[in-house]
Structure 1
């Protein structure tokens, strides 16, 4: 058994390797039957134990099953590039070269492509470049908020740019590209999170709301940094801020930090409105009224004593 484990890849092994190690094919499959010591992870791909496979073992099984030239992509692949947002994947998404014919399984998604990129080694596994991982994943998604969380993180953390993602969408399959294109339009405007994306969508629903910029750096008259405004209407000195502790009990320190933040901006002549994401979902009409009231108040105030620039500058 030790010899088989040494020949395996972290416990994963192909039928070809098993037979090369002297295990008859019939014996290998018999050991995967009920109460057997092994299990079949994919056609001709075995795990030399009966315990629950780890996600990494599923990734290895997918690469072994898909064969030469295969590489991880999608959100699972993006995890290897440090992307943390989004629900953890329950399947493994793999790229193979188009002429090959390998079928998907319930746990392994096989995608054939004529544009097979050069893989990058991550933890000993072949992984597609981050741009390809993200676009391969986002083309298969319909939830714009979920897409925005992942793509905004990738851009915010300087792992890629909206231009690079759009270029990949242009060169790849057009099917499913409408949703990520819509999200990237928001990310390109400075949206950094799913909550900000939802707020931007809300803002654009109302024709009577003025032009707004996202994630703007604010400074006082002497050039001292004040804050980054989630949303900023520069003509009125109006700041729209997303309440980031909506789903948690705010600690005393968080409450004090929020009060200090608002006091600092108001001292500079800015009107501030905090918005909970639930307001957009549960009471959009009420939120619209609150925004209009805050904008009207901002219009009555003297010109704010601030300088500003895009947060990406």
Structure 2
């Protein structure tokens, strides 16, 4: 065969366009050995090999999904010993325990602030810490001692949103880009602020200048979203309209604290738990002290109100998102039970 002799096509069964990216192991199972696969990738050939051990069965540019699948196939290929690790519930036959994270994962979740998969410079893939494979080409391997349980998007294993966000933020230096991603995560209902801050703390990026203000905006956004859910719950389930965002005081006495909703006739208050998560930029000792002091002050105010005959209903943003009808029932029950209680002490209600 001369250099000008065209390559003979390599025929084998496929199941459509999603089979255009295959690993060497998958090709071998179809009867195409390494030598034959390499021949198809020669200059002018019908295939290409964008990553070691991964073949794309066309010569043109890879689309977004092909880039993601090829990175997963590379990261999840069997170790050089040929022995795969013990199977786990998260393992995939083609990708092993590998899963997409970072900007590539966020693009699959539909984040407008993340570039499309075809434009992501580096495809981040989470792999077990013991994995010895190195990053190659556009596939960057991130090792972790504890793999999260992946989601399944477009047939690909993807890290949970909060984890993908933290891995994306760890690689970004642009404060505006970080802020947009974190804000969209909460505003779009992808995850709760506490989960995001917890993952940012695990990634040790909370102290970075580009993250500091973004986290403050994240918590403020989380507060606004939780209030919107509370308004919607009251109106959707036909609860009596309360006084919104008020401060309670004893006449001529101390401040009893602010509440998010208050029904004066029934002496029922709703308080949203939107306190900043325990994780913070402070050192561990100060973080623990501030968390305990904040919780103690909150508990004291709640106990004081209940001694005065005010029923305090504690709601979390996550419960308002995932179990809104159940939370409406809790509030309705508290309102109905007011008729069987002793009258509450008189309190002064002020706008907050």
| TM-score in same-fold range (> 0.5) | yes
Counterpart for residue 327 of structure 2? none
Match of 1:31 among 16, 37, 40: 40
**Is residue 2:113 matched to residue 1:85?**
yes
Does the aligned pair in 1 maintain the 2:107–2:115 contact within 8 Å? no
Distance 2:16 2:110 in 1: 30
How far did 1:103 drift?
1.4
The 5 Å alignment of 1:7-46 reads 9-46=18-55
Distance 2:128 2:147 in 1: 6
Once the two structures are superposed, residues 151-201 of structure 1 have per-residue CA deviations (whole angstroms, 9 ceiling, x without a partner) of 11111122122221111122x232576233431122223499xxxxxxxxx
The structure-2 alpha-carbon separation of the partners of 1:17 and 1:71, relative to structure 1 and needing over 3 Å to count, comes to same
The structure-2 alpha-carbon separation of the partners of 1:16 and 1:182, relative to structure 1 and needing over 3 Å to count, comes to same
Once the two structures are superposed, residues 127-173 of structure 1 have per-residue CA deviations (whole angstroms, 9 ceiling, x without a partner) of 10000011110011110011111111111122122221111122x23
How far did 1:7 drift?
9.6
SS of match in other structure, 2:180: helix
Counterpart for residue 234 of structure 1? none
Does the aligned pair in 2 maintain the 1:14–1:64 contact within 8 Å? yes
Distance 1:93 1:22 in 2: 31
Distance 2:205 2:167 in 1: 11
Counterpart for residue 168 of structure 1? 199
* Greater Cα offset, 1-10 or 176-185: 1-10
How far did 1:109 drift?
1.2
Aligned residues: 197
Counterpart for residue 119 of structure 1? 150
Distance 1:190 1:20 in 2: 51
Counterpart for residue 219 of structure 2? 188
SS of match in other structure, 1:40: strand
The structure-2 alpha-carbon separation of the partners of 1:75 and 1:25, relative to structure 1 and needing over 3 Å to count, comes to same
**Is residue 2:104 matched to residue 1:76?**
yes
How far did 1:3 drift?
2.7
TM normalised by structure 2 equals 0.51
Distance 1:60 1:83 in 2: 19
Q: Considering only CA atoms, is the larger Rg found in Structure 1 or Structure 2?
A: 2
Once the two structures are superposed, residues 104-140 of structure 1 have per-residue CA deviations (whole angstroms, 9 ceiling, x without a partner) of 1221111111121000111111010000011110011
Once the two structures are superposed, residues 212-259 of structure 1 have per-residue CA deviations (whole angstroms, 9 ceiling, x without a partner) of xxxxx9xxxxx9xxxxxxxxxxxxxxxxxxxxxxxxxxxxxxxxxxxx
**Is residue 2:35 matched to residue 1:5?**
no
Does the aligned pair in 2 maintain the 1:15–1:44 contact within 8 Å? yes
Once the two structures are superposed, residues 61-80 of structure 1 have per-residue CA deviations (whole angstroms, 9 ceiling, x without a partner) of 11111111100111110122
How far did 1:90 drift?
2.7
The 5 Å alignment of 1:1-313 reads 3-6=12-15, 9-67=18-76, 68-88=96-116, 89-170=120-201, 172-174=202-204, 178=208, 179-190=210-221
SS of match in other structure, 2:143: strand
